[in-house]
């Protein structure tokens, strides 16, 4: 049961909204970090169940600032929005789908950075989103990045695709458009220069054979 009421959520959002919309500077980044942390707490305390539209509207109106914080060169600030997205996806489940176009591309882009801490946290956030939302629509975003120059990004794409096949509702993956996306990812990972990507690609193919045995021959 949520510990917050709709009125609580509205009050808390009013208190953090101003700092959530700040532009990052030396003087403001800690205020931004605290406001995103406060938003995480609202979700953790059942805020989404109490006032879903209020929270989704807040994410929509502040998504540019949240993404800006994700892209910050300050690692301490960058990691907090990743925790937020994991928390939001866990609370929203399949209702997260309208937020995918906003947050999945910048999340994947982070996996091409050189900072291993950021890559690992972004990967963890992506896998949390896949497993908790079970949205086969995420495959489209993986396919768009499967031939990127970054080996770390391609490995996250492969891991994410495997997680999709293992957690999504099979009928969603069996739809022709989704099956074609999986097949394209299998082809790309099978021929990738990186051995780790090829290894996960083989696991994707094994899962694919179980899910879609009628398509394997062609």
How many residues does the structure list for the chain?
218
Domain count, the chain: 2
Dist CA 16 CA 61 (whole Å): 13
pLDDT bin (cut points 50, 70, 90) of residue 214 is confident
81's tokens: 């929005």
Q: Is residue 53 part of a domain?
A: yes
Q: Is residue 145 part of a domain?
A: yes
Domain final position from 84, 101, 118: 101
Structural domain range at position 79: 1-101
Domain final position from 56, 79, 101: 101
> Which pLDDT belongs to residue 104?
98
* Helix axis angle, 176-190 to 138-145, nearest 10°: 30
124's tokens: 């963890």
Q: Is residue 13 part of a domain?
A: yes
- What is the domain-level CATH number for residue 186? 1.25.10
Q: Scanning the structure block, which residue is given the tokens 């021929």?
A: 191
* pLDDT for residue 218 is more than 70: no
* pLDDT for residue 157 is more than 70: yes
* pLDDT for residue 1 is more than 60: no
Shared domain for 22 and 97, answered yes or no, is yes
Shared domain for 97 and 156, answered yes or no, is no
Q: Is residue 113 part of a domain?
A: no
Percent of the chain, pLDDT > 90? 95
pLDDT bin (cut points 50, 70, 90) of residue 216 is confident
Domain final position from 101, 120, 150: 101
pLDDT per residue over 66-89, tens digit each? 999 999 999 999 999 999 999 999
> Which pLDDT belongs to residue 96?
98
> Which pLDDT belongs to residue 121?
98
Dist CA 61 CA 58 (whole Å): 5
* Section 86-100 average pLDDT: 98
């Amino acid at each position: 049961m949520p510990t917050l009421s709709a009125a609580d959520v509205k009050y808390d959002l009013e208190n953090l909204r101003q700092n959530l919309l700040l532009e990052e500077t030396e003087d403001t980044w800690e205020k931004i970090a605290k406001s995103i942390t406060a938003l995480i707490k609202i979700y953790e305390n059942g805020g989404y169940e109490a006032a879903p539209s209020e929270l989704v509207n807040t994410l929509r109106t502040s998504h540019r600032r949240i993404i800006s914080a994700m892209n910050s060169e300050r690692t301490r600030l960058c990691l907090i929005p990743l925790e937020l997205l994991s928390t939001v996806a866990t609370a929203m489940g399949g209702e997260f789908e309208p937020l995918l176009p906003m947050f999945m591309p910048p999340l994947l882009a982070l996996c091409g950075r050189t900072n291993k801490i950021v890559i690992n946290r972004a990967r963890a956030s992506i896998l949390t989103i896949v497993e908790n939302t079970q949205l086969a629509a995420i495959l489209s975003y993986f396919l768009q990045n499967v031939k990127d120059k970054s080996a770390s990004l391609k490995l996250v794409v492969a891991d994410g695709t495997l997680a999709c096949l293992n957690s999504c509702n099979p009928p969603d993956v069996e739809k022709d458009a989704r099956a074609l996306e999986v097949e394209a990812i299998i082809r790309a990972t099978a021929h990738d220069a990186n051995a780790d990507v090829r290894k996960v690609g083989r696991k994707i193919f094994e899962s694919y054979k179980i899910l879609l045995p009628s398509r394997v021959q062609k």
